[in-house]
Amino acid sequence: MASGGARAWIVLAAVLLAAAPAAASPAVNVIPAPLSVSPAPDPAPVAIAEGETIFTPRGDAGARRTAEQFATLVLRTRGLNLKVAAGDPPTGAGPAIVLLRRPGLPPEGYVLDVAAGQARIAATGDAGLYYGAVTLWQLLTADGGRGPATLAPVRIEDRPQFAWRGLMVDSARHFQTTAQIEQLIDWMSLHKLNVLHWHLVDDQGWRLQIRKYPRLTEVGAWRIPPPGSPDAVRGRKGPVPYGGFYTQDQVREVVAHAAARHVSIVPEIEMPGHAVSALLAYPRLGAGAPPPREAQSQWGGFPYIYSGNEESVAFLEDVLTEVMALFPGRYIHVGGDEVAHERWNGTPDAQARLRALGQTDPAALQADLTRRIAGFLEAHGRRLVGWDEILGGALPADATVMSWHGIDGAVAAAAKGHDTVLAPAPWLYFDNGQSNDPHDPLGRGVMITLRDVYGFNPLPATLPPEAAGHLLGLQGNVWTEHIRTFDQFQAMAFPRAAAVAEVAWSAPERRDWTDFMRRLPAQFGRYAALGLKANPAALNVVIDASPDAAGASVSLTAQSAVGEIRYTTDGAEPTPAARRYDGAFTAALPARVRAAAFLDGSRLGPVAEAQLDAASIRRRGSHQLRLCNQKLTLNLEGPRGPAGETRTYMVNPQDACWLYPAADLTGVSRLTVAFARLPFNFGFDAGHNSVILHPPRGPAGELEVRQDNCLSDPIAVASLPAGPVGGRASLSLPLPARNGRHDLCFTFTSRGFDPVLALDWVQLAPPGTADATPEHGR
């Protein structure tokens, strides 16, 4: 996430306006890219200074609201006080901003003319005026400066490609305050994102007040985190429950806040699965035995589902009645994913219903529930949305399918005549990481970079042209099992949400990765002005070094893959005139390597720095190693240290095995490994086919080191010291003499998964030293 130092380069790098892909188009630094950019007939620039006036049509409440929102935004990010007045600007008056209505434009479309001393935004609908104002704000803030601004003359005609341009926030796993949700809505609207999918219910928490069923929040909104977990807090009377919920009054305030920014909220109430939090509150509604309390504090999949009998259907309809009273939008999301249908096999009511339907497969009961709930919503003027599992069975014609199993669900739904929204894993799942930086926020270890998101194709070749009209749009999903704080949330969502915005808004011919990267530094400048802690991984350079005969072999990489990398080895600031990186180079030790990415002579991101010596080039953290088993990769947070500090660990909690590829063992006689014991709170089936246990020799387990493959006999073994969950330790062990480069495999042996044995770092002792470097921070 962007630190104070990182923000400095953001503002510096934003001084150049970006060129649009078409050479004939004027340069505009706007995200998402507008549909059409052309020269204005009047070549004179337009100056906007302190005290300028925004004029709106008389009696036009929507235009005045947009003008006031724009003025507030400009004051915050540019430092200019602008006035708002009704009517036309006086003849011969100085520069002004004018909002006006023009019939015939699309509801979200607008035309922006910067010419003849004025910036004029024309639109038919309120949303169009708002988005035109957002574009004008981006033009005013493209240089990252404060005070008066000068705008180049330009004409922009714009409208979105898709109607559904969304972001999903998971408030069930980790809770965000209403102020944070409203802040997120603000940021979304400034990207022209218009749908907030609010995941309010899941196994780990029920977040919405339902007056008819108060135990949903009294019981279901609170859980006890497992000891040693980052959420665990112990008070004087024992563990402090984690949770929270939104009152109905708070929800109304959030909905009104969103509506004023043209964001529609789609609430999600999961059914028939992901129901642990509800069934803890009302066990009689479930199929079979009720869930244990500890299930609510675990991550993973659980078999606990609603019974599907008349009482549970009446309960769900009661809940949805209150939901519809709070959320006026057209769509209500009912989940429908990951349902353990076999749970109904032992439930008499479910079996009776199955016989009445003339079916034998319990999956038919989910289709029956979906049909009934869809009819209930339709009777109240609403439309059901569900994850792509709802396609199994006779789905009501007006049901909308949200595809998360890749794009196949969307293709199948559209082919059957259903509207669909693309939200596929892994491309649009923002709980996946963005880099191997150990300071990045927590989440899954699969890397989905900004470029991956930008390259997502929302119009797959497998979608027939006649079905394309059913594709409403797309959204990014931010699941929060491991994203505990709102700062972490921001860094996981942004700037990838900006890529979603451009893919969803901009016409395909207007999208260009290199051009997007040119515009991104200015967007980071806006983020800094707004207090948005976005992750700059896409703009960073990564320095990697390993031993060679003359010192260190150094390689530099940049995710952006645009422009060039410039570097120094003496600690000097890299500039466009510094040495260009053309491939791995040798640096004599010690060396202070500094590097940055440049595009068109302008620095894209912060300066990366590495202090290299004989020890550092032989050290690898868990994020630099490779997991032997990548079926489940997680970037987990360890408990807080004495000073409140935390460390992160790349692990597969089902297989404690890591690889150090191509380790130079020449002259190395000893290594040190640091590790931690993390709490295990995952709801995995013990018989899962990716679970691998390494049997221990002794009671506390061992560290085993193997050469070249993980099935050979160990070349070194050390017993693990005893320690508590949440504790950290290190151990040093001798290595037999080896020459050349070899893969090293590190495994922890144990009789179970609790605690999770997480490797922190490996240090090979430099040749000629008696021992490895002791533990220290990254």
Give catalytic residues, as residue numbers: 202, 274, 338
Give the 3-state secondary structure of residue 759.
strand
d(CA 399, CA 421): 11
**3-state SS of the chain: helix, strand, coil percent to 5?**
25, 30, 45
d(CA 223, CA 238): 13
Q: Cβ-count burial of 90 within 10 angstroms (0-12 exposed, 13-18 middle, 19+ buried)? A: exposed
Within 13 Å, how many C-alpha atoms sit on residue 82's CB side? 34
d(CA 414, CA 437): 39
d(CA 184, CA 308): 36
d(CA 676, CA 626): 17
For the chain, the residue count is 778
d(CA 436, CA 430): 15
For 528-550, b where at least 16 C-beta lie within 10 A, e where not — what string?
A: bbbebbbbbbbbbbbbbbbbeee
Q: Which residues contact 385 (CB under 8 A, 6 or more apart)?
A: 266, 331, 332, 333, 334, 399, 400, 401, 402, 421
Q: Which residues contact 65 (CB under 8 A, 6 or more apart)?
A: 126, 260
> Shortest CA distance to 192 belongs to which of 141, 138, 134?
134
Q: Which tokens sit at 645?
A: 């500090």
Q: Are 361 and 369 in contact (CB under 8 A)?
A: no
Q: Which tokens sit at 584?
A: 């791995």
- The residue type at 663: A
Rounded-to-10 torsion of CA 321, 325, 328, 333 = -30
